[in-house]
Amino acid sequence: MEAESKKEFWSWGKSLIVAVLVAFIVRQFLFTPVIVSGESMEPTYHDKNRVVISKISTLEHFDKIVFHAPNADEDFIKRVIGLPGDTIVMENDVLSINGKTYKETYLNSNKAALPEGQKLTQDFEVKVPEGQLFVMGDNRANSMDSRIFGSIEEDSVVGKVKFRFYPFDEIGNPK
């Protein structure tokens, strides 16, 4: 009986070790949970929201990403506005990337809250250097982003936001 108990214990032990190893590999190299901190992405994400990021996704315009902040010892969550080589122009709250105009519908509620005639985003023009990204928060009036600290290195990206899993009544991937 004792030999059988040892055999079962060893079987459970191996299974537990494999499970921990798989979880470590997935979290380290593929997906990881992140807690949103701050108001810079409101109304898309709020403080204390919990999201899952993919560490192996390719980035496109308007993707939400988590990256190591260039001016702080923390990670930020922002939206990719400019990819390497892009020319970004913001004029009268209208975004143009490489001469093409885009509607930023995710900003509609923030724009609606502004007093008549006030702009959400100040005018600017920037060329994104190779190997870098231009990022901005959705809460443009309260976001420390590339307008302040400049473009970020592509290597500083931790991952692309794929899914919000908390709060439970907002589960999914907001636009």
Within 8 A by CB and 6+ apart from 170, the residues are: 49, 164
Alpha carbon 89 to its chain centroid, in Å, reads 22
**Residues catalogued as catalytic:** 40, 78
Catalogue the E-assigned strands of the chain.
31-35, 50-54, 64-68, 75-82, 87-91, 94-97, 100-102, 124-127, 132-136, 152-153, 157-166
Q: Tokens representing 93? A: 């709250």
Q: Tokens representing 91? A: 């004029």
Strand partners, 126: 88
